[in-house]
Amino acid sequence: MKANKEKFECQECGKVFLKVIPKSLEVKCPKCGSYDVDLYFAINHVQAVDLQ
């Protein structure tokens, strides 16, 4: 098994960062410490489909 890093965007400060999703599914923003983060990949998935 390999750990896949996913791209997240913090909803508090807008920081975009890569992180392996922990088993707890709680991802903390490295900049402001907020747990209010969304998968950044999902936002860009529509455009990214054609490139893969």
Smaller CB separation from Zn ion, 36 or 48 = 36
CA distance 41 to 14: 14
Q: Between 31 and 45, whose beta carbon lies closer to Zn ion?
A: 31
Beta carbons within 10 angstroms of residue 17's beta carbon? 17
Closest approach, Cβ 49 to Zn ion, in A, equals 28
Residue nearer to Zn ion on the CB measure, 5 or 31: 31
Q: In this structure, is the dihedral angle defined by the CA atoms of residues 1, 43, 48 and 32, taken in order, positive or negative? A: negative
Site residues, Zn ion (CB under 5 A): 10, 12-13, 15, 29, 31-32, 34
